[in-house]
Amino acid sequence: MTLPAGIERHDFDGETGLATRGSPVYGEPTDGEWRRWDPHRSKLGAMLELGMDTGLDGDETVLYLGAAAGTTVSHVADFAGPTYAVEFAPRPLRELLSAAEDRDHLFPLLKDARRPETYAHVVEPVDVLVQDVATRGQARVAALNRQFLTEDGRLLAAIKARSEDVTAAPEAVFEDVVAELDDHYEILETDRLTPYHEDHLGVVAQPR
C-alpha cells in the first residue's frame, strides 16, 4: 500500500503502525516527532490500514464532518492542507480547539453537518470530504455537503449501521445507505472496517 505524503510507518513498542508528524492529542505513543495513528480509534485510520484507495496525496484541502475531540482530524491536519473540522457538540469541541492550537491550518467549527448552509460562507472548495457522523441519514449528510467538493474530489465516509437503525442487520443498512449515496456519488470502493470497528462500512466515492 502506497501511503500519502506525510504518513509513514513507525515502530511503537514493538508494533509497526501508521504515524503522522505532530504533537500528541489523545495519549498516543510517539517516536520522536511522529505519533501513532491508532486505527482502533479512527475510522479513516482503519481505511488506510485496510488498504482502501483513499486518493489522499498529502496536500489536499479537507472538510471533516464529525470531528469530535480531534482524534482523527488532528492526524489529517498533520499532513494535509487547510482542514475544516465540523463538530456539533460543545464539549468535545473544547478538546478539538486544544488540538488546533499547534496546527495553524486546522479550523474547528461548532456547526451541525446536517446544516451546511451555516458554514458555507467559511468553507472553501475542498479536495476531500471526510464524513464520520453518528446520526441517522448519513447518506443525506453526504449529499448536502457534496456542494463543497471539487469536481474530482473524494468522499471518504465511515457509515455506522447502528446510527441508522439499531434493529436492522448491518448489511441491509449498508446496502440502503450506499444505494442512496449512489444518487449523488459514484461509488469507487467499499469495505467493512473489521477488525478495527464493528458494524462500520468504509466508502470511497466521487461526486457525480
Residues facing residue 21 across a β-bridge: 34
Q: How far is 180 from 142, CA to CA, in rounded Å?
A: 10
Q: What is the pLDDT of residues 102-156, one digit of tens each?
A: 999 999 999 999 999 999 999 999 999 999 999 999 999 999 999 999 999 999 9
Q: What is the pLDDT of residues 154-201, one digit of tens each?
A: 999 999 999 999 999 999 999 999 999 999 999 999 999 999 999 999
Among left, alpha and beta (phi > 0; psi -120 to 50; other), residue 32 is left
Residues facing residue 19 across a β-bridge: 8, 36
**Homologous superfamily of 41-207:** Vaccinia Virus protein VP39 (3.40.50.150)
pTM: 0.96
Q: How far is 148 from 27, CA to CA, in rounded Å?
A: 33
